Amino acid sequence: MKENANPSEWYFSSDEYSPNLTVENWSALLKNPEIFNENSRFVMKCIVENGGQSTCQELAEHFGKTETFYQNVVKRLAKRIQLKTGCTLTYANNDGKYWYDSILFLKKRDEISGTWIWKMRDELKEAWEIFQPSQTPIIPSYTESDFLNEVYLSPQQYHTLTSLWKRKKNIILQGSTGVGKTFSAKRLAYAMMGKKDDSQIEFVQFHQSYSYEEFIMGYRPDRKGKLTLKEGIFKNNKGES
């Protein structure tokens, strides 16, 4: 592959290379869970939500996981597509290595970071819009490894915390302001849920006037001044503690 004279131009446009897959071809592939598995659809959805083009660095920052995760998922997906369809591949610098991701994307260098920007091929993007996967928000998974990468604790300390939580149902983190207690607690919750879902996390700041009625349940005035029974943060919307 030759370097573009114009950095604003995309590699692997139709006049340079094409996998020759139509919208109908892509639609059939998207419906096949053996080709587009859960991770593959997750990555495609992330790219679409990012405007149809993105670097791996942007995906990692916005949706979690690592840059390597996105690279590996795309490469494995492209290999499955190539085996399934027999579409042609293009070489990288004629050194025997293939640009597998070119099956799905056009590419160019980001002028700031120097990393590759992926842009979904028009046929794939159109097929994805027809496919219309679940519109629920993306909730990235979150593992022990993610926790250890973000929080300065050892695996042994992590397992001590999770064991205490499972047995005692509470953990007290002690330390000065700004040492990362809230940051660590939030990520511990992610790791124990297995997903980075902020909708399942609540923060409560206790103070002198914080009452039982606010925390558990009690009668409080509404906007019209009428007393109504309201559940506090300790009880969920179904009335279960």
Which tokens is 212 given?
Answer: 């039982």
Q: What is the pLDDT of residue 240?
A: 42
Which tokens is 20 given?
Answer: 């020759």
Q: What is the pLDDT of residue 161?
A: 92
Supply angle C-alpha 205, 206, 212, rounded to 5.
Answer: 125
Which tokens is 95 given?
Answer: 């050194």
What tens-digit pLDDT sequence spans the chain (241 residues)?
444 444 457 887 767 788 999 999 999 999 998 999 988 999 999 999 888 999 998 998 888 888 899 999 999 999 999 999 999 887 655 555 678 889 999 988 888 778 889 999 999 999 999 887 655 556 778 889 989 999 989 999 999 999 998 999 889 988 888 888 989 999 999 999 888 887 778 777 777 777 877 778 888 776 677 888 877 777 754 434 3
Q: What is the pLDDT of residue 134?
A: 57
148 and 138 in contact (C-beta within 8 Å)?
no
* Candidate CATH numbers 2.20.28, 2.60.40, 1.10.10, 3.30.160; the one for domain 23-131: 1.10.10
Q: What is the pLDDT of residue 43?
A: 93
Q: What is the pLDDT of residue 212?
A: 78
Q: Where are the domains of the chain?
A: 23-131, 139-201, 202-241
